[in-house]
Amino acid sequence: MYRAPVEEIAFALKHVAGLGPALDAGQFGDLSEDLVDAILAEAGRFATEEVAPLRRVGDEEGAMLRDAAVTMPPGWKPLYRRWIEGGWNALSGPEDFGGQALPTMLSVATLEMWNSASMAFGIGPTLTMGAVEALDKHASDDLKRTYLGKLVSGEWMGTMNLTEPQAGSDLSALKTRAEPAGEGTYRIFGQKIFITYGEHNLTDNIVHLVLARLPDAPAGTKGISLFLVPKFLVNEDGSLGPRNDVFCASIEHKLGIHASPTCTMIYGDGFAEGMEPGAIGWLVGEENRGLACMFTMMNNARLAVGIQGVSVAEAAFQKALAYAKERRQGKASGYSGEGMAPIVHHPDVQRDLATMKALTRAARAIAYSCAHAIDRARNAEGGEARYWQERANLLTPVAKAFCTDIGVQVASIGVQVHGGMGYIEETGAAALLRDARIAPIYEGTNGIQAIDLVTRKLPLSGGEHVRGYLEELRETLRDLGLLNEAGFGAAARRLGEAINDLSEATAHLLALLDKEQNEAALAGATPYLRLFGLVAGGVHLARAARADMSAERIGLCRFYAENLLTETAGLKLQVTAGADSLAGAAASLVMS
């Protein structure tokens, strides 16, 4: 059973990602360390005692569709009510609409716990929080007054409707249309697929944010507008009115996250009794500027999905470690007890478990550091705000892609530690791997994140921001003074070499972009993103070891540096010398 690692999460926030110095400097008003600890402790209790016990029923029974209505698994509706009554949905919401306006770092930390306890549960509120941010920034005052309060509280939930059968990652092919209907309303017609929590019985109303085209819209992504389309229309007094013409036609039968209803939504088929066809919606932001509005929500969701990778990795590590301490097989030189040794004493299993633990902590630090940059950007002005916004922009694709790749990798190792029992559903190890596999795909595939990192984020400020980030990594390593400490072995040398590998790969990609050789740059985008994540994660583990100086953290830092960072040299070669061979292989694929 998962137990929220509250102390480890607090340590990572305060001593690795930057929350401690921010609190000391008063950057979050009267937020105190005691309050942070209290919030984390209660979130950990709720995740451990109330969410985690319902993970299995969610996986085994899943969400059920009947007559266009989705019913959630037993126990989930009262669980959600208790969750919103605890104020968890409102944690980072705007104060003007009932939110607590707490830092993103705290929101992300609690999201980790909800998703470790049950990823299918944790993904639902993630979309609502994103909808809140998008509406708060872009909606009219009337829409805010009508919808934001209940979305912030969690009384209503929100969704994000982008994907269509012919328009997945390429939204320029989007066909859903919006027709002006008078009095500031529009009629929406079309089909959306893969809509997370598009229909369910957790809340009385569901607020859909839908991308669609106006009749005279330009072609491509420049002609997309964003619309708010509620499941039930809202009367002037705030009560629910008639059913809108938006319905769930089907839910997907998925590899994992079975309790998360992934819906096909139909807009404007005339299913709503007593209403003319067309789902009624309201424009959010400006006409033909919907993608910019939606990206507010998507950037929020990308970090939240990144933390899902951390969440599953943590749950998989806990499960594997507990099993390895109980399962007995063979003899081990380090075991002096009677009979067969617990497999945790075997070096190969120890390597697996150490890899799981180190990668999980590295990924957590990257995600929390991204959240810290978001918080700093919001609380700063002028050049400082620009600096932190660029840092958040740089780290977001890394947090999304690296952390979700780690989630899959760690969950897969967890199955291996369980041996044959890992392939059997009753242990729950396979369920974690099944859940983890979606995270590198949705909210922008990890390949798209790599493209974004290389083509959009590396060139920020003419490449100076990423160069400055690399120099910060070097300064951190120098400041830590690891060479002078016993127990670190070759960690400092390997970290330094890894930073050099990342620097050379970065310079190579910036040079290609400067020469407009984008195809060659994109050939190395995915290995570059992993290289970036591995190096940043290693420096974070070194920072953690210096802050604590315990044998456990020093040992983990050394293991990561001497074992896992050996990958960086090969990744650098893939980035700097792999384009031609990829082009040759690609030619054979096209011809076959």
- Phi, psi (5° rounding) for residue 240? -80, 135
Which member of 112, 164, 390, 443 is catalytic? 443
* H/E run at residue 180: strand 177-182
Residue holding tokens 């392939």?
423
Cα torsion 513, 388, 561, 521 to 10°: value is: -10
**330 exposure class (CB count in 10 Å sphere: 0-12, 13-18, 19+):** exposed
Query: What residues contact 278, with CB distance under 8 A and at least 6 apart?
Result: 179, 181, 187, 188, 189, 245, 267, 268
The SS3 assignment for 285 reads coil
Residue 96 tokens read as 């003007």
443 annotated active-site: yes
Residue 412 tokens read as 């897969």
Cα–Cα distance for residue pair 513/504, rounded to 1 Å: 14
Query: What residues contact 334, with CB distance under 8 A and at least 6 apart?
Result: 341, 345
CB 386, CB 349: distance < 8 Å: no
Residue holding tokens 């990192």?
453
Residue 75 tokens read as 């126990």
Burial 433-458 (b: 16+ CB within 10 A, else e): bbbbbbbbebbbbbbebbbbbbeebb
CB 232, CB 242: distance < 8 Å: yes
Distances (CA, A) of 565 to 186, 488, 535: 54, 14, 7
DSSP track, 40-102: HHHHHHHIIIIIGGGHHHHHHH--EEETTEEEPPTTHHHHHHHHHHTT-TTTTS-GGGT----
Cα–Cα distance for residue pair 58/442, rounded to 1 Å: 20
**How close are the terminal C-alpha atoms of the chain, in Å?**
48
- Phi, psi (5° rounding) for residue 179? -110, 125
Beta bridge partners, 210, equal: 161, 227
Q: Within its chain, how far is the Cα of 431 from the centroid? A: 19
Cα–Cα distance for residue pair 176/115, rounded to 1 Å: 32
Residues catalogued as catalytic:
443
